[in-house]
Structure 1
Amino acid sequence: MQTAHFTIAYWCVLIAVLLPIACAGLAKSGMFGKPRREGGYDNGDPRAWLARQTDWRARANAAQANSFEALPFFMGAVIIAHQLGAHQGRLDILAFLYVFLRMLYIMMYVAGMANIRSIVWMLAFAINIGIFFLGYR
Structure 2
Amino acid sequence: MTVALWCVLIAFLLPYLCVGVAKAGGRYRLRDNHDPRDFLDSLEGAPRRAYAAQLNSFEISPFFAAAVIVAHLAGNAELVTLNVLAVLFITSRLLYIICYLADWAILRSLVWFVGVGLVLSFFFVSV
User: What does residue range 78-117 of structure 1 map to in structure 2 within 5 Å?
Assistant: 78-85=68-75, 86-117=77-108
| Equivalent residue for 1:28, pick from 7, 23, 26 | 23
**Ranges in structure 2 where 5+ consecutive residues have no aligned partner:** none
User: What does residue range 1-137 of structure 1 map to in structure 2 within 5 Å?
Assistant: 6-29=1-24, 31-33=27-29, 42-85=32-75, 86-136=77-127
**Could you tell me how far apart the structure 1 residues matched to 2:18 and 2:40 are?**
12
2:97 aligned partner, one-letter code: I
**Ranges in structure 1 where 5+ consecutive residues have no aligned partner:** 1-5, 37-41
State the Cα deviation string for residues 17-51 of structure 1 (Å, max 9, x = none): 000010001100152448x6xxxxx1111000000
Q: Cα RMSD (Å) of the superposition?
A: 1.3
- Structure 2-normalised TM-score? 0.94
Question: How many residue pairs are counted as aligned between the two chains?
Answer: 125
- Structure 1-normalised TM-score? 0.87
Give the helix-richer structure, 1 or 2: 2
For the pair shown, which has the larger CA radius of gyration, 1 or 2?
A: 1
**Could you tell me how far apart the structure 2 residues matched to 1:43 and 1:107 are?**
26
What percent identity do the matched residue pairs reach? 47
State the Cα deviation string for residues 91-131 of structure 1 (Å, max 9, x = none): 00000000000010001001100000000000111011001
Specify the SS of the correspondent of 1:43: helix
**Could you tell me how far apart the structure 1 residues matched to 2:99 and 2:122 are?**
23
